[in-house]
Amino acid sequence: MTGILDKIRREWVRATVLRRFLGTGPAGRDSIGLVVYLDYEREFGNTAAKEPARRGFESVVSILHEHGMRATWNCVGLVGLHYPETVERLIEEGHEIACHTHSHISPSRVCKSDLHADIAEAKSLFKERFGVDLRGFHSPSDAWSRDLIGVLLRLGFEYDIAYERQGPGRSISLISDRRHGGPKGRRVLLRVPSAGDDWSLFCGDRTPEEIRNGWAGLLTPGHRGETFALGFHPWILGMREGHMRLFRDFVEKVSSLGYVRVLTGREVAEWAGNDSPDTTDLK
């Protein structure tokens, strides 16, 4: 859910950070590079989500398993603490574990030191408990700020996923902020643009049919050469059978399209770090 203040803030941040678009991503000119991501927060994002989150998790994991599809799971640290067996299962299934803060806080609503402490806590929990080095981040409420960029760079994150307005072709980009980085830390963060998520299923501002068509519209051949992410919440999908059916249909459609290549966020970041000719630090 994004408030008007978050939108204004995001536009301001977008105008003040340095960006470099990388053009065609790892999937190449003839394919769509798609990152399927799940915001895995269970009841720590919405206290009413406990039961739908349990159901949703089980169904999403098995649908992905059936189709051999690996996704990027942006996990809340508290989920790792209270439902460690589910995180272990995701790791066993080959999914990427990424970060959605420790306690599902919105970066635009806390001070920089609290933000640092919260994300650092998630980082060390996943390292110590699961041996996972978190590299990717997706922000609750999709909120981001210059402070957040600095915190992520200092904590060793390599990429984030954030909503981007529709443009003439979605592209991954490198973002930087003159105030951050330095000899020890990375100076640039890879931005994987999100084309949207399943929030409309929850708030009901679009019909399921409109949502289905919206997702299908992202996967038309005209989008080849683009790299972007599309997000889901297990607890939203677990609320109704119809929601999960839409997700299943989506996964089936993605699997059936030869020109759609599903990537994890980490794979996109590795490509940008190794193979892209444009990875020199932004000045």
Contacts to Zn ion by CB under 5 A:
39, 41, 45, 140
Tokens representing 215 are 């997702």
β-strand partners of 174: 20, 190
Comparing CB distances to Zn ion, the nearer of 104 and 180 is: 104
3-state SS class at 152: helix
Cβ distance to Zn ion smaller for residue 13 or 78: 78
Q: With respect to Zn ion, which residue has the nearer C-beta, 159 or 235?
A: 235
Burial of 58 (0-12, 13-18, 19+ CB in 10 A): middle
Q: How far is the CB of 57 from Zn ion (least distance, A)?
A: 14
Least spacing, CB of residue 30 vs Zn ion, in Å: 34
Structure tokens at 210: 């409109």
Q: Closest approach of Cβ 45 to Zn ion, in Å?
A: 4
CB of 9 to Zn ion, least distance (A): 17
Cβ proximity to Zn ion: between 46 and 276 the closer is: 46
d(CA 283, CA 280): 9
CB of 100 to Zn ion, least distance (A): 6
Q: 140 or 181: whose CB is closer to Zn ion?
A: 140
| Beta carbons within 8 Å of 117's beta carbon, 6+ residues apart | none
> What are the helix (H) ranges across 157-264?
199-203, 208-218, 234-237, 241-256
The least CB distance from residue 41 to Zn ion, in Å, is: 4
Token pair of 137, please?
């981040």
Alpha helices in 194-240 (DSSP H): 199-203, 208-218, 234-237
DSSP code of residue 172: -
Nearer CB in complex with Zn ion: 134/174? 134
Angle at 174 between CA 173 and CA 177, to 5 degrees: 135
Give the nearest distance from C-beta 44 to Zn ion in angstroms: 9
In the numeric block, which tokens belong to residue 246? 């839409």
List the structure tokens of 101.
Answer: 């803060």
- Which CB, 27 or 35, lies closer to Zn ion? 35
Residue 89: CB atoms within 10 A of its CB come to 15
